[in-house]
Structures are given as structure tokens and as C-alpha cells.
Amino acid sequence: MTGIAELEVENESIAIISIVGAWSIYEKHSHAEEFIETILAKPSIQSVELKFVDLKSWDSVLINFLICILNSCEAKNLTVNVDNIPVGIRRLIELSKTSPVRSTSPAGQKKSTILEFIGRVGLLIFFSLRTFLGFTGKLWVGIISFIGGKVKIRGREFALVLQEVGAKALPIVFLISFLVGLIIAFVSVLQLSQFGANIYVADLVGISMMREMGCIMTGIIMSGRTGAAFAATIGTMIVNDEVDALQTAGFSTINFLVLPRVIALTLMMPLLCIFSSFIGIFGGLCAAISATDLTIVRYCAQTAKAVCLNDFFVGIIKSCFFGFLVAAIGCQKGLQCKRSAEDVGLTTTTAVVTSITAIIIMDAIFAVIFSLIGI
């Protein structure tokens, strides 16, 4: 049997609602709206009486039904006889009424007009830019103080970060760089073999790995691996009050958390870039000797002839900047994290997306600069 309510009007002025059966959120039941409509449609009704006949069981659905009836009647100044309501139900209804209602809602939940929305977006961009510039300024002050010997980095912590961002990243850098070299070589062979110019596969792979792909691929891997880890670690520290504890113990978060990470990644990125470039060339070699009649010696000799020292240094310089960017963005996003697990995830995602975008933009700027100065 489901929860049923029946309405009858006595003497044109008293509405009697009889509540019967088993009221459950899992079963069909009567809804308060239809009764309220009927009652309000008859202005002659002055009072409402609730009768509980053969009530088998009840749960939240009956309490909700009664609260709707009571509130509507109260709003229309109708008298409701609540004496018959079972004690347990009455207690819960009273308890729900004692909960204080907050007089104002948080600012963020307010509906806004288009102009307000544009203004809010403008302010958000302004404050984000201000925060980023503030962070960059503090970071450079930290770096200069470190170079000047005024700030010290804890040796053990720094060594751990170096190991984390350097040695432990080698396997993934190896895999990705090898495959990228392999892919470039295979694509090149397909085109160059039509002109009998297979030998130039070595040029293409060598120059692209040294100048572009080595540093970009390493930068992207580091964004997804290390930048994300920095953001997540610092974000979690914020959630656990560890960053507040650092501040209230008198330590600068920039010097303590950011500086070791930025310096470590800026130092490690060129090494990883060199490693990536050589592994990429090795991948190209494997593809070239398996797909063409080139020998290892010819391929290596052609690579040595094609790649000059400028290409090598271009990759190194770019990788230093990419390392700095990835670490700084990861740490900055981590420090902006709020105090929930969801925010840690969001912060990590933002850090990866921002640093990959920054790497591509920075690479484009470098391409323009290097072409202008003829390198």
C-alpha cells in the first residue's frame, strides 16, 4: 500500500486531510500541491485538520508533505490543527524550523547582468596578471638573493628535487624522444625516397631534434610530469595547512618551496634536452637503416655534417627557458590552490595547460628572434 492523502471539506469551512498507508520515498504517494490548490481555491475554508488513519510507516516524504501543507496554510492565515500529528513527525518538523536561515547569500551565487559579467571577467584577468607579476617579482628577488648568498636552499631537499626532475625523468624522455625521432625519420623517408635523397633523412632528423623537437618534447613531458607534480604537491600542502605553517614559522614560501624547484628544473632541462636530442637522432638512425639502404656510418657522418654547434646551443638556451617556465607556472598555480581536493585537481590541470601553452608561445618568440639574428 502506498502513501495516500484524502481531502474532504466539512461544513464548507474545515478541510480535513486524512493520511493513510505507508509513506516511502521509494513508493508512489500523494503530493501536497494538489491539496494546497484545492484548499486555496475555496475561500470559505478557514481551518485545516490533519487526520492520521491507519498510518503504516513514514519517512522524509511524509514530513515534506506536511511541511508544504503547514507552510502554505500559514502563508494564507489558515488555522491548522497539528495535535494529531504523531510525536516523532512533529519533532522533526519543529527541528527543521529551528535551523537558522542565513540572511545573505555568498557573493558568488548572485545572478549578474552581462555588464557585471564583463566587469568581473576584466577584474579576474587584472588580478590574475597582478598575481602572476607579483609572483614573478618575488621569484626573481629570491633568485638574486640566492645568487648573492643571502638565501640558502636545503641541500637534501634540493638533491631530492634534482633527482626527481632529472634522473627519474630519463625513462619517459627516452621513450618519447626515441619514438619522435623514429616518426620523423619514417615520414622523411617516404618523401625523400621519391627523389633518391634518402641521405637527407639524417639532416632532417638531426636538425629538428637539436633545434626544436628535443627541447619542445622535453618541455611538454616536464609540463605533464614535473610541472603537474609541483602544482599538486604545493596544492596539497595548502590543503593540509603546511604552507600556512611555513609562513607562520617565518619561512618564505618562495624561498622554501619555489626556488629549489625552479633552480632544479632550470638546471636539469638542458641536460634532458641534450639526452632527448641524441636519443631522437638514435631513433631516426634505427628507422633510416631499417627502411633504406643507409649504413650507420653514413647516417652518423651525414648528421655530423648537417648539425652545427648553433643548432645545439639553440636547443640548450630554449630548454633553460622552458624549464624555468614549467617550474614557475607549476609552483605559482600550486600556491593559488584553494582548500579542497577538487581544487588540487583543477590546479594541476591548469598548470599543465598553461605551461604547454607558454612553451609553444615562447618557442614561437624564439623562432622569430633567431631568424632575425640569423641563427
Binding site for another protein (CB under 8 A): 100, 104, 106-108, 157, 160, 237, 240-242, 244-251
Q: Which is nearer to another protein, 160 or 301 (CB)?
A: 160
User: What's the distance, CA 307 to chain centroid?
Assistant: 40
Task: Based on DSSP, count helices (H) and strands (E) in the chain, helices before strands.
Answer: 15, 4
User: Minimum distance from CB of 157 to another protein (Å)?
Assistant: 7
Q: Which is nearer to another protein, 249 or 372 (CB)?
A: 249
User: Minimum distance from CB of 225 to another protein (Å)?
Assistant: 18
Q: Which is nearer to another protein, 205 or 265 (CB)?
A: 265
User: Minimum distance from CB of 108 to another protein (Å)?
Assistant: 6
AA identity, residue 75 = A
Spatial separation of the C-alpha atoms in residues 271 and 269, rounded to whole Å: 5
Long-range interactions of 70-75: CB distance < 8 A, separation 24+: 72/32, 72/36, 72/39, 72/40, 73/39, 73/48
User: Minimum distance from CB of 204 to another protein (Å)?
Assistant: 44
User: Minimum distance from CB of 298 to another protein (Å)?
Assistant: 51
Alpha-carbon separation of residue 317 from 111, 262, 279, 312 (angstroms): 49, 16, 19, 9
Is residue 50 a contact partner of residue 62, using CB atoms and an 8 Å limit?
no
Q: Which residue has the cell 633567431?
A: 370
Q: Which is nearer to another protein, 76 or 339 (CB)?
A: 339
Q: Which is nearer to another protein, 116 or 242 (CB)?
A: 242
Q: Which helix (H) or strand (E) holds 275?
A: helix 259-291
Q: Which is nearer to another protein, 157 or 343 (CB)?
A: 157
User: Minimum distance from CB of 260 to another protein (Å)?
Assistant: 11
- Angle among Cα 182, 187, 189 to the nearest 5 degrees reads 95
